[in-house]
A and B are shown apart, each in its own frame.
Chain A
Amino acid sequence: EPEVTQTPSHQVTQMGQEVILRCVPISNHLYFYWYRQILGQKVEFLVSFYNNEISEKSEIFDDQFSVERPDGSNFTLKIRSTKLEDSAMYFCASSGLDRDSNEQFFGPGTRLTVL
């Protein structure tokens, strides 16, 4: 069964450093998302991506964040200068052609720890 994959599973970085979180969505899906979950809190929407551009972003997704789909298979989230409060699980999700179903498939997540 096709699945969303994410790498790395765990990333530890120093405050102020840049990190890139990688995702491979399900092939033939067209809609891509990043969500984050701070430990013990709810899953929060960060950004949605369709047709090679951002379709919506949340207030959390400030100038320090960017997304790319560089090669038609990978979907990346970059944080330019990490802050302590960026420590969280980051989930990538994708959904298919059927907008009427809107079922989203989530990856296993990347745990980001900022020291």
Chain B
Amino acid sequence: SQKIEQNSEALNIQEGKTATLTCNYTNYSPAYLQWYRQDPGRGPVFLLLIRENEKEKRKERLKVTFDTTLKQSLFHITASQPADSATYLCALTKVDSSYKLIFGSGTRLLVRP
């Protein structure tokens, strides 16, 4: 069955450092991989999308890589700030009738001042 794995342990880093979150998947061939941010009690907020034929995508302090051979995506936040503290969700999509998102369980990031 399809499986999307994100590190279930919280990532605790010092302000200013780079946070790196991992998303691994099996038994799936996504067309897109997306990263969302979720704050407690709130809906997911879209951050970045990377396509299967792309290796890397950047947006301001965010960078995503996508390795379809390893079936892995890395999500980096450079110069992290306490305001970056949240849960980060990886989501996969296929090109089909619905384009539904299949989410991982998320990794909680805590940035200490």
Contacts and interface: CB of A to CB of B under 8 A. Distances in A.
A44 B91 CA distance: 11
Interface residues of B, number: 24
A56 B100 contact: yes
User: Taking each of B32, B43, B44, B101, which has the highest tally of chain A beta carbons within 10 Å of its own beta carbon?
Assistant: B43
User: Taking each of A31, A99, A103, A108, which has the highest tally of chain B beta carbons within 10 Å of its own beta carbon?
Assistant: A103
The A interface, classified by DSSP as helix, strand, loop or mixed, is strand
B43 A103 contact: no
Contact of B104 (A42, A48, A109): A42
Given A43-B89, A102-B49, A48 B103 contact: no
A106 B43 contact: yes
Given A43-B44, A108-B43, A101 B49 contact: yes
Given A45-B102, A93-B43, A103-B46, 5 more contacts: A33-B101, A48-B97, A48-B99, A101-B49, A107-B43
